[in-house]
């Protein structure tokens, strides 16, 4: 255990060397900040590495504090560079910063596991980091290219955010209702089960971009034929094919988890519930469903995370959402625009994942094991 | 011959085995018995170095096990565990032939050895050779486990609760088979169990362990007669110890030759344990039994007084 | 016809599909690739207004080849690194990294593949190479996770017995752990490759030329026929690959 933490925690020390900040022409940290500051900045990283050399229960919290300090320091370094620049220039984030960020996050994950921090505490630890970024952005980091892109498009950004959420929400919501219905029907009929899973598995295999494409023609045809569909906004591109495809992809994990959840409730529990004289309906509502709920939620989690990613692809067929920025950025070779789309997508996926797993854990603790 | 001198094992702060000394003679079946967590399994696993001992010495035929290469050492020692550990992706025949193949025996010799062992353990080749472990019953799987351990004809056999997961009838059948095998093969066996009846039935030497130490060791009858303390006594069954002893003694040891009296109506086999004779007396409400041999020919008689061993 | 005969025929059909399905899909894929020109009529009907209804910037076969090459290279590297890495962290010398690697594999899977691809571009630039690298990185996760699950899922008794019988570490790995974990590992590789086939298509937006090309250019030019051609071929490719994996997987499970 000792050696492991060491080897990878020494990485930050190594990655200090190529520390450079890309700004049109790449600059090393030393060039941008001066040697003094650069060396100073690498002190906490080295300290973490030293602490990790022999992790004792007392040293781990200290290492945690240092890692947080590094994370808080990153926006400060950037600010230090930013204030010295011309107001019109743009500041990009260079690979060294990404490296430091990545390694620090790794360290954070590892320390969280080692210290067995509870979930709320784990999040609380990130509060100072968020505050530092926010404060620096507001005060000094105006030249940061990513922030510039955001300022230029803040209205679009919120629109995209809403579109993304609505599309994911609508698809997952429909998948829960339809999935529950399908799963219940499949429990009744074995034939339906085979065919149903066969079709859903098949659907899941087809790449999203292909499915969006394949839906394009029939939907365009339908909207051309039926006035009322066109009036609803259904057409070959836009939300309709995106929503349909998302629903198709969401159904498999949804149905599978609901089915498995209901099916895997301990038969002894069901047996004893019936033995106590509960009616079929009571057994289902009071015993089977509550016991199955955590696994069902697990399905909702997988589905939501998957849908957040797929919605990004749906931007290609004009469904909106953060994917728009990504593909616009890729088209214009504007990397900061790509980041403006990609980072929120990742953040959204991580937050959805964290929230839903927290909810699952909570349900497991509360009464069901 | 296996010898342990002051063997100790620490897991971090915790002391699992605390200065054990033990000598298992060649051809002896030594049973380690005790409550769970008493260190008996750890002791066993230190012999084939699945666990390294912290202090003390373990000798095999006078040579410290530390001087052997651990892989070579293990190939010389048969090893049987509770849930068989058969490789689920290999057939029965391939499982049994594992160690000979590891030892690079020629293919023909491996095949012959597998055949021989399957016959020895009552597993017909035609029926079982190509089956996979999950197609076997618990008893059959454990027979394969024993066959695999015996495959390279090791002098020493280590058995870690091998029959613990079996139903009582299968367990008893396999215990008797093991005794039968032992009578023919004379291996040096160290056997771990928490089942005292199993221990009493199988052991040449019984070793009672508690909290990493040996509390008492000796022949089963010695322990029954003179348990070292309350713990051993209660482990041996408290006030029902008498019945356990009766189960270890044969009718042959207590019977008298046929006398001038009329034969008693109820009969008992000469090789049956005394507990069975006692049960028959209780059941039929009699105090005398006729002792018969294998062919049901009367050869003696057993009275209640003789059974309980009273002097008069 | 008796009921039994019907059932028998159904079973035979399923067996046939399982055995020859992958080849049938592959055949269909190749036929469509080569004979797309024959379908000009239907495409013309779908897209009557466009001047061109057949994607002609590159041959479909070449696009298919590119696609397979990119996914193949990325997946091959991902399998080697992923399985190798997972094996390394389950050995005694690498066990310190185990919690970190398994955490990373599970957190990484919540990253949408598009976002990973998009992030790879600023770091690595446009073209085919960054796509291979992005696919490789993303494809690692399911392989690592499944290899870990496969090895850790082995009955501890089996492992104990293997050691107790005097197998060397190498023998245990090659003769016991890998064969027993193989079905789970293969399932991970299947997920990885399937996702990569899909993600590679999106790679067309960052300058790789593959089967995603007709779709992207169809969307950009509003030519539904292009989109359909690309979508059909990618769909078929994904199904071919997936059914091939399914067949291998079934073989593997049958054996145990």
DSSP string, A200-243: HHHHHHS-HHHHHHHHHHHHHHHHHH-HHHHHTT--SSSHHHHH
What CATH number does residue C240 fall under?
1.10.3720.10
φ/ψ of B44, rounded to 5, equals -60, -45
Q: Which residues of B232-243 are buried (b: 16+ CB within 10 A; e: fewer)?
A: bbebbbeeebee
To 10 degrees, the CA torsion angle through C100, C105, C106, C107?
80
Contact in structure between B216 and B228 (CB atoms under 8 Å)? yes
Instruction: Name every residue whose Cβ is closer than 8 Å to that of residue C150 and which is 6 or more positions away in sequence.
Output: C180, C181, C182, C183, C184, C185, C188
To 10 degrees, the CA torsion angle through A219, A220, A222, A228?
100
User: What residues of chain A lie within 8 A of the CB of C104, using their CB?
Assistant: 106, 109
B291 within domain boundaries: yes
C118 contacts A330? CB cut-off 8 A = yes
Residues C70 and C206: their CA atoms lie apart, in Å, by: 14
In this predicted structure, what is the pLDDT of residue A18?
37
Contact in structure between C22 and C242 (CB atoms under 8 Å)? no
Q: pLDDT digit string (tens) for B109-129?
A: 999 999 999 988 888 888 888
In this predicted structure, what is the pLDDT of residue A263?
81
Strand partners, B268: B291
In this predicted structure, what is the pLDDT of residue C106?
76
Q: Which domain holds residue C220?
A: 3-255
Q: Does residue A29 surpass a pLDDT of 80?
A: no
Contact in structure between B244 and B224 (CB atoms under 8 Å)? yes
Residues C170 and B77: their CA atoms lie apart, in Å, by: 20
Place of tokens 């995603």: C212
User: What residues of chain A lie within 8 A of the CB of C112, using their CB?
Assistant: 305, 308-310, 312, 345-346, 349
In this predicted structure, what is the pLDDT of residue A12?
40
In this predicted structure, what is the pLDDT of residue A273?
80
Please provide the size of chain B in residues: 312
Contact in structure between C210 and C204 (CB atoms under 8 Å)? yes
User: What residues of chain A lie within 8 A of the CB of C114, using their CB?
Assistant: 309, 312-313, 323, 326, 342, 345
Q: Higher pLDDT residue, B144 or C107?
A: B144
The nearest alpha carbon in chain B to C183 belongs to B89
Average pLDDT, chain A: 70
Residues C79 and C182: their CA atoms lie apart, in Å, by: 12
Task: Using CB atoms, list chains with 3+ pairs below 8 Å to chain C.
Answer: A, B
φ/ψ of A142, rounded to 5, equals -50, -35
Contact in structure between C130 and C116 (CB atoms under 8 Å)? no
What chain A holds in terms of domains, given with CATH numbers, is 2-144 (no CATH), 154-365 (1.10.3720.10)
Q: Does residue A7 surpass a pLDDT of 50?
A: no
In this predicted structure, what is the pLDDT of residue A151?
64
The nearest alpha carbon in chain A to C237 belongs to A206
A216 contacts C104? CB cut-off 8 A = no
Which pairing describes strands B29-33 and B256-257: parallel, antiparallel, or unpaired?
A: unpaired
In this predicted structure, what is the pLDDT of residue A103?
67
Please provide the size of chain A in residues: 369
The ipTM estimated for the assembled molecules is: 0.75
Place of tokens 């010695």: B222
Residue B106's pLDDT band (cuts 50, 70, 90)? very high
User: What residues of chain B lie within 8 A of the CB of C158, using their CB?
Assistant: 85-88
In this predicted structure, what is the pLDDT of residue B305?
86
In this predicted structure, what is the pLDDT of residue B189?
93
Q: Does residue B159 surpass a pLDDT of 90?
A: yes
Residues A7 and C101: their CA atoms lie apart, in Å, by: 14
Residues A161 and A289: their CA atoms lie apart, in Å, by: 34
Average pLDDT of span A1-30? 42
Q: Which domain holds residue B283?
A: 249-308
C179 min Cα distance to partner chain A (Å): 26
Domain count, chain C: 1
* 3-state per-residue secondary structure call for B112-129: HHHHHHHHHCCCCHHHHC
Please provide the size of chain C in residues: 256
C104 contacts A8? CB cut-off 8 A = no
Average pLDDT of span B249-266? 84
To 10 degrees, the CA torsion angle through A246, A248, A250, A253?
-160
User: What residues of chain A lie within 8 A of the CB of C199, using their CB?
Assistant: 207
Q: pLDDT digit string (tens) for A213-270?
A: 777 767 766 666 666 666 666 666 667 777 878 887 888 888 888 888 888 777 788 8
Domain count, chain B: 1
To 10 degrees, the CA torsion angle through A293, A298, A300, A304?
160
Contact in structure between B64 and B241 (CB atoms under 8 Å)? no
Q: Higher pLDDT residue, B73 or A92?
A: B73
**Number of B–C residue contacts, CB under 8 Å:** 64
Closest residue by Cα to residue B96 from B78, B72, B70? B78
* 3-state DSSP assignment of residue B8: strand
From the candidates B98, B133, B151, which should be mutated to test the interface with C, based on the most C CB atoms within 10 A?
B98
Contact in structure between C64 and C37 (CB atoms under 8 Å)? no
Report how far apart the first and last C-alpha atoms of chain A are (Å, whole number).
Answer: 31
Q: What share of chain C is helix, strand, coil (3-state, %, to 5)?
A: 85, 0, 15
What CATH number does residue B269 fall under?
3.90.1280.20
In this predicted structure, what is the pLDDT of residue C232?
81
Residues B311 and C205: their CA atoms lie apart, in Å, by: 103
Q: What share of chain B is helix, strand, coil (3-state, %, to 5)?
A: 40, 25, 35
In this predicted structure, what is the pLDDT of residue A6?
42
Residue A138's pLDDT band (cuts 50, 70, 90)? low
A345 contacts C114? CB cut-off 8 A = yes
In this predicted structure, what is the pLDDT of residue C15?
64
- Residue B99 token pair: 């160690």
Q: pLDDT digit string (tens) for C94-140?
A: 677 777 777 777 777 777 777 777 777 666 666 677 778 888 888 88
Average pLDDT of span C83-100? 80
From the candidates C153, C158, C166, which should be mutated to test the interface with B, based on the most B CB atoms within 10 A?
C166
Contact in structure between B155 and B103 (CB atoms under 8 Å)? no
How large a percentage of chain A has pLDDT more than 90?
Answer: 0
Residues C254 and A357: their CA atoms lie apart, in Å, by: 36
Residue B31's pLDDT band (cuts 50, 70, 90)? very high
Q: pLDDT digit string (tens) for C187-211?
A: 889 888 888 888 888 777 766 677 7
C51 touches chain B (CB under 8 A): no
In this predicted structure, what is the pLDDT of residue A3?
41
B64 within domain boundaries: no
C92 touches chain B (CB under 8 A): no
Q: Does residue B99 surpass a pLDDT of 80?
A: yes
In this predicted structure, what is the pLDDT of residue B188?
93
Closest residue by Cα to residue A299 from A268, A270, A260, A327? A260
Average pLDDT of span B235-255? 84
B125 within domain boundaries: no
Q: Higher pLDDT residue, A321 or A114?
A: A321
Contact in structure between B191 and B43 (CB atoms under 8 Å)? no
Q: pLDDT digit string (tens) for A277-295?
A: 788 888 888 888 888 888 8
Residues C41 and A239: their CA atoms lie apart, in Å, by: 30
In this predicted structure, what is the pLDDT of residue B158?
92
Residues C19 and B86: their CA atoms lie apart, in Å, by: 31
Residues B245 and A157: their CA atoms lie apart, in Å, by: 86
Q: Higher pLDDT residue, C238 or B207?
A: B207
Residue C35's pLDDT band (cuts 50, 70, 90)? low
Neighbouring C-beta atoms of residue A154, cutoff 10 Å: 10
Nearest-CB residue to C110 (from A211, A327, A350) = A350
B88 contacts C164? CB cut-off 8 A = no
B81 contacts C161? CB cut-off 8 A = yes
User: What residues of chain A lie within 8 A of the CB of C234, using their CB?
Assistant: 206-207, 209-210
Instruction: Name every residue whose Cβ is closer than 8 Å to that of residue C197 and which is 6 or more positions away in sequence.
Output: A207, C67, C71, C234, C237, C238, C241
Q: Higher pLDDT residue, B28 or B263?
A: B28
* 3-state DSSP assignment of residue C252: helix
Q: pLDDT digit string (tens) for B267-282?
A: 898 888 888 899 999 9
* 3-state DSSP assignment of residue C131: helix
Average pLDDT of span A336-360? 81
Residue A14's pLDDT band (cuts 50, 70, 90)? very low
Place of tokens 């690309």: C230
Contact in structure between C234 and C194 (CB atoms under 8 Å)? no
In this predicted structure, what is the pLDDT of residue B113?
92
Tell me, what DSSP letter sits at residue A287?
Answer: I
B73 contacts C161? CB cut-off 8 A = no
Residues B97 and B120: their CA atoms lie apart, in Å, by: 14
From the candidates C13, C97, C108, C114, which should be mutated to test the interface with A, based on the most A CB atoms within 10 A?
C114
Residues A330 and A308: their CA atoms lie apart, in Å, by: 19
Between the alpha carbon of residue C211 and those of residues A85, C53, C60, the distances in Å are: 45, 16, 8
User: What residues of chain C lie within 8 A of the CB of A327, using their CB?
Assistant: 205
**Maximum mean pLDDT: which of A103-107, A271-275, B197-201:** B197-201
In this predicted structure, what is the pLDDT of residue B157?
92
- Which range, of A18-27, B83-92, C241-250, averages the lowest pLDDT? A18-27
- Residue A152 token pair: 């230029």
- Which range, of A48-52, B60-64, B138-142, averages the lowest pLDDT? A48-52
In this predicted structure, what is the pLDDT of residue A185?
84
B11 within domain boundaries: no
Nearest-CB residue to C99 (from A98, A113, A312) = A113
User: What residues of chain C lie within 8 A of the CB of B85, using their CB?
Assistant: 155, 157-162, 164
Average pLDDT, chain C: 77
């Amino acid at each position: 255990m000792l050696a492991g933490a060491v080897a990878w925690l020494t990485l930050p020390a190594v990655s200090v060397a190529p520390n450079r900040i890309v700004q049109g022409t790449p600059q090393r940290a030393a060039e941008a900040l001066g040697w003094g500051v650069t060396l100073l900045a690498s002190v906490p990283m080295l300290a973490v590495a030293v602490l990790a050399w022999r992790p004792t229960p007392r040293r781990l919290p200290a290492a945690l504090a240092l890692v947080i300090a590094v994370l808080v320091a990153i926006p400060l370094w950037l600010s230090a560079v930013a204030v010295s620049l011309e107001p019109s220039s743009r500041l990009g984030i260079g690979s060294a910063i990404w490296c430091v960020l990545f390694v620090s996050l790794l360290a954070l994950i590892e320390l969280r596991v080692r210290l067995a921090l509870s979930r709320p505490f784990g999040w609380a630890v990130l509060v100072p980091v968020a505050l530092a970024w926010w404060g620096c952005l507001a005060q000094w980091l105006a030249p940061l290219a990513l922030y510039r892109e955001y300022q230029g498009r803040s209205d679009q950004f919120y629109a995209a955010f809403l579109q993304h959420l609505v599309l994911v929400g609508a698809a997952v919501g429909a998948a829960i209702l339809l999935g529950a219905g399908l799963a219940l029907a499949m429990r009744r009929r074995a034939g339906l089960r085979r065919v149903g899973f066969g079709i859903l598995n098949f659907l899941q295999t087809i790449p999203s971009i292909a499915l969006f494409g394949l839906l394009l023609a029939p939907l365009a045809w339908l909207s051309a034929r039926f006035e009322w569909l066109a009036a609803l906004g259904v057409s070959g591109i836009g939300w309709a094919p995106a929503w349909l495809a998302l629903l198709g992809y969401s159904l498999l994990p949804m149905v599978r988890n609901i089915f498995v959840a209901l099916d895997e409730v301990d038969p002894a529990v069901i047996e004893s519930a019936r033995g106590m004289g509960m009616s079929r309906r009571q057994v289902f509502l009071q015993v089977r469903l509550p016991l199955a709920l955590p696994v069902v939620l697990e399905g909702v989690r997988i589905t939501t995370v998957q849908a957040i990613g797929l919605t990004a692809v749906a931007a290609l067929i004009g469904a909106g959402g953060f994917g728009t920025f990504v593909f616009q950025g890729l088209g214009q070779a504007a990397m900061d625009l790509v980041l403006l789309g990609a980072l929120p997508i990742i953040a959204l996926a991580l937050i959805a994942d964290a929230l839903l797993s927290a909810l699952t854990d909570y349900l497991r603790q509360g009464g069901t094991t | 011959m296996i010898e342990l001198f002051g063997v100790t094992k620490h897991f971090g702060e915790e002391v699992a085995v605390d200065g054990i000394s033990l000598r298992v003679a060649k051809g002896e079946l030594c049973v380690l018995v005790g409550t769970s967590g008493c260190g008996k399994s750890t002791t066993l696993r230190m012999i084939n170095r699945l666990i390294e001992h912290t202090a003390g010495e373990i000798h095999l035929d006078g040579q410290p096990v530390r001087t052997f290469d651990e892989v070579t050492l293990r190939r010389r020692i048969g090893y049987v565990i509770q849930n068989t550990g058969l490789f689920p992706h290999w057939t029965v025949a391939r499982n049994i032939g594992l160690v000979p193949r590891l030892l690079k025996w020629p293919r023909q010799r491996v095949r012959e050895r597998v055949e021989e062992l399957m016959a020895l353990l009552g597993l017909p080749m035609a029926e079982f050779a190509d089956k996979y472990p999950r197609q076997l019953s618990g008893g059959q799987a454990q027979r394969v486990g024993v066959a695999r351990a015996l495959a390279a004809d090791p002098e020493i056999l280590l058995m870690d609760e091998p029959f613990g997961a079996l139903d009582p009838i299968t367990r008893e059948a396999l215990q008797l088979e093991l005794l039968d095998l032992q009578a023919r093969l004379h291996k040096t066996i160290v056997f771990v169990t928490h089942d005292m009846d199993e221990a009493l039935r199988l052991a040449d030497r019984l070793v009672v362990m508690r909290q990493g130490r040996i509390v008492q060791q000796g022949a089963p009858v010695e322990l029954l007669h003179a348990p070292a303390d309350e713990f051993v006594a209660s482990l041996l069954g408290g006030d029902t110890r008498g019945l356990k002893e009766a189960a270890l003694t044969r009718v042959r040891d207590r019977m008298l030759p046929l006398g001038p009296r009329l034969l008693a109506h109820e009969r008992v086999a000469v090789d049956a344990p005394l507990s069975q004779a006692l049960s028959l007396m209780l059941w039929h409400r009699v105090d005398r039994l006729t002792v018969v041999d294998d062919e049901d020919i009367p050869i003696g008689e057993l009275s209640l007084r003789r059974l309980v061993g009273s002097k008069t | 016809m008796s009921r039994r005969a019907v059932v028998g025929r159904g079973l035979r059909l399923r067996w046939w599909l399982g055995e020859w399905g992958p080849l049938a899909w592959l055949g269909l894929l190749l036929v469509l690739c080569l004979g797309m020109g024959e379908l000009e009529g239907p495409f013309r009907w779908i897209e009557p207004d466009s001047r061109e209804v057949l994607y002609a910037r590159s041959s479909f076969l070449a696009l298919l080849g590119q696609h397979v090459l990119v996914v193949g290279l990325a997946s091959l590297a991902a399998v080697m690194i992923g399985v190798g890495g997972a094996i390394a962290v389950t050995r005694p010398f690498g066990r310190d990294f185990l919690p970190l690697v398994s955490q990373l594999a599970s957190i990484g899977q919540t990253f949408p593949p598009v976002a990973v691809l998009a992030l790879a571009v600023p770091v690595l630039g446009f073209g085919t190479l960054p796509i291979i690298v992005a696919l490789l990185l993303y494809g690692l996760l399911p392989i690592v996770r499944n290899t870990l699950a496969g090895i850790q899922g082995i009955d501890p008794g089996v492992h104990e017995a293997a050691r107790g019988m005097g197998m060397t570490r190498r023998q245990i790995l090659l003769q016991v752990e890998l064969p027993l974990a193989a079905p789970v590992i293969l399932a991970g590789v299947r997920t990885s490759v399937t996702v990569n086939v899909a993600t590679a298509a999106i790679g067309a937006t960052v300058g790789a030329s593959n089967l995603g090309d007709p779709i992207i250019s169809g969307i950009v030019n509003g030519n539904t026929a292009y989109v359909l051609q690309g979508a059909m071929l990618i769909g078929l490719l994904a199904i071919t690959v997936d059914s091939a994996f399914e067949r291998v997987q079934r073989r593997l499970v049958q054996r145990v």
